[in-house]
């Protein structure tokens, strides 16, 4: 078992978290605006068990686990749930293995991945709202060697991109498929983060796991990383265009663990990376609108604090949550343009820059609406 430090100091000089050139938001003077929560009048339990939320025109799409259907569509004008969608081949109560909703640039289509069946189901929004809930197209990956832990997908030209959570040495930054969700190839560089040069191949995709977005205006991909205050922008060939660090400069440590279990002739692999419990940073979601990126930065910090109030057992609470979240606005090159402050810790969100609306849910699965 090895421990890999992520921030290194030499003498009085602090070595940067990334080698080479990168954009450090901690040094940027970025204009900020405060989002204001407004009453929405909707049933707050609509987000119970939610894993993703998307906004298209006046329709809110919420992906929910452990529900009767896996995507619920809410008309924001009427406040009513107007449609529910289920994966093809699944029945009510089988809302499982779906974590993200993809939406086309024009808002006409949305899609989701049935992880267990390795199938992407694509729906036409107007069909679903008219009561026709079957997908217009279903894409099934027939490659048995393809990673099974793929959650976030984008369609770019004739290709499908995803960030697999790899459990083998062949894990790569991106898995790239053709338009049928087959003929996989690997692509993409890993960000040059200090302390990750000698990691086992299985660990990279866990360290750099995150949310994926496509910038059609610039024909670029971007990844906002869970646990790391880092957004990486890529060319479509997988080369890194820029790394954006911040807005915080603290990073939790991690260690490599052996979570493999052998049963008979089969070996089952679990998560190879364990993050330190004293702190956690999380970019929960990344959205693309009008050539700009919107990265939700929500975090909490836990640590032993002798000065905290003692409870009945005489022990300190040992926990501190930083209030609120920030949505960082970036251009297609990664230059920070604006920070939107939100007074709650949102876990997922979507944003409509044209109307200045933000919808999201917190860690208690309560639905919130903001204007900025």
Could you please report the per-residue DSSP string of 274-296?
A: EE-TTEEEEEEEEEEETTEEEEE
pLDDT-derived band of residue 5, with 50, 70 and 90 as boundaries?
Answer: very low
With cut-offs at 50, 70 and 90, classify the pLDDT of residue 93.
low
pLDDT of residue 269: 64
Checking phi first, is residue 51 left (phi over 0); if not, alpha (psi -120 to 50) or beta? alpha
Burial of 350 (C-beta count, 10 Å sphere; 0-12/13-18/19+):
buried
Domains of the chain in start order, with CATH, are 3-27+51-318 (2.40.128.630)
For the cut 80, the answer to whether the pLDDT of residue 185 exceeds it is yes
Q: What is the value of pTM for the model shown?
A: 0.86
Cα 243 from Cα 233, distance rounded (Å): 6
What does DSSP assign to residue 14? E
Enclosing H/E stretch for 126: helix 125-129
Closest CA to 352 of 285, 288, 284, 283: 288
In DSSP terms, which residues pair with 294 in a beta bridge?
287, 329
Model pLDDT for residues 135-147, shown as the tens digit of each residue: 999 999 988 776 6
Q: How far is CA 179 from the centre of its chain?
A: 23
CB 259 within 8 A of CB 203: no
Confidence at residue 371, expressed as pLDDT on a 0 to 100 scale: 98
What are the structure tokens assigned to 169, written together? 């040495």
Average pLDDT over residues 261-281: 69
Burial class of 77 by CB neighbour count within 10 A (0 to 12, 13 to 18, 19+): exposed
If residue 85 lies in a helix (H) or strand (E), which one and from where to where?
A: strand 80-85
Beta carbons within 8 Å of 341's beta carbon, 6+ residues apart: 32, 33, 34, 35, 324, 325, 326
pLDDT band at 6 (very low <50, low <70, confident <90, very high): very low
Mean pLDDT value across the chain: 83
Which pLDDT score, from 0 to 100, does residue 368 have?
96
């Amino acid at each position: 078992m090895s421990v890999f430090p992520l921030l290194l100091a030499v003498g009085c000089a602090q070595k940067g978290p990334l080698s080479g050139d990168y954009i450090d938001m901690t040094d940027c003077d970025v204009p900020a605006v405060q989002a204001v929560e407004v009453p929405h009048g909707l049933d707050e339990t609509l987000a119970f068990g939610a894993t993703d939320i998307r906004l298209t025109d006046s329709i809110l799409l919420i992906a929910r686990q452990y529900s009767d259907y896996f995507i619920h569509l809410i008309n924001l004008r009427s406040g009513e749930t107007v449609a529910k969608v289920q994966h093809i081949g699944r029945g009510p109560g089988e809302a499982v293995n779906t974590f993200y909703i993809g939406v086309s640039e024009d808002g006409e289509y949305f899609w989701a991945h049935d992880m267990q069946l390795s199938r992407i189901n694509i729906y036409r929004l107007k069909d679903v709202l008219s009561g026709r809930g079957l997908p217009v197209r279903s894409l099934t990956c027939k490659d048995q060697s393809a990673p099974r832990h793929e959650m976030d997908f984008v369609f770019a030209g004739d290709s499908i991109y995803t960030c697999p959570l790899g459990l083998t040495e062949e894990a790569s930054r991106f898995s790239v498929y053709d338009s049928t969700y087959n003929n996989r190839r690997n692509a993409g560089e890993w960000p040059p983060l200090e302390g990750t040069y000698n990691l086992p191949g299985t660990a990279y995709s866990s360290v750099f796991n995150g949310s994926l977005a496509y910038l059609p205006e610039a024909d670029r991909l971007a990844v906002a990383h869970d646990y790391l205050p880092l957004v990486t922008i890529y060319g479509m060939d997988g080369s890194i265009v820029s790394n954006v660090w911040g807005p915080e400069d603290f990073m939790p440590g991690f260690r490599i663990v052996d979570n493999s279990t052998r049963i008979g002739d089969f070996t089952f692999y679990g998560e190879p990376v364990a993050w330190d419990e004293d702190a956690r940073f999380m970019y929960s979601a990344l959205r693309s609108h009008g050539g700009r990126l919107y990265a939700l930065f929500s975090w909490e910090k836990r640590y032993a604090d002798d000065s905290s109030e003692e409870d009945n057992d005489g022990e300190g609470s040992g926990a501190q949550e930083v209030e609120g979240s920030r949505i960082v606005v970036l251009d297609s090159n990664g230059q920070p343009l604006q920070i939107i402050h939100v007074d709650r810790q949102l876990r997922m969100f979507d944003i409509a820059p044209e109307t200045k609306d933000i919808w999201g849910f917190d860690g208690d699965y309560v639905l919130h609406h903001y204007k900025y």
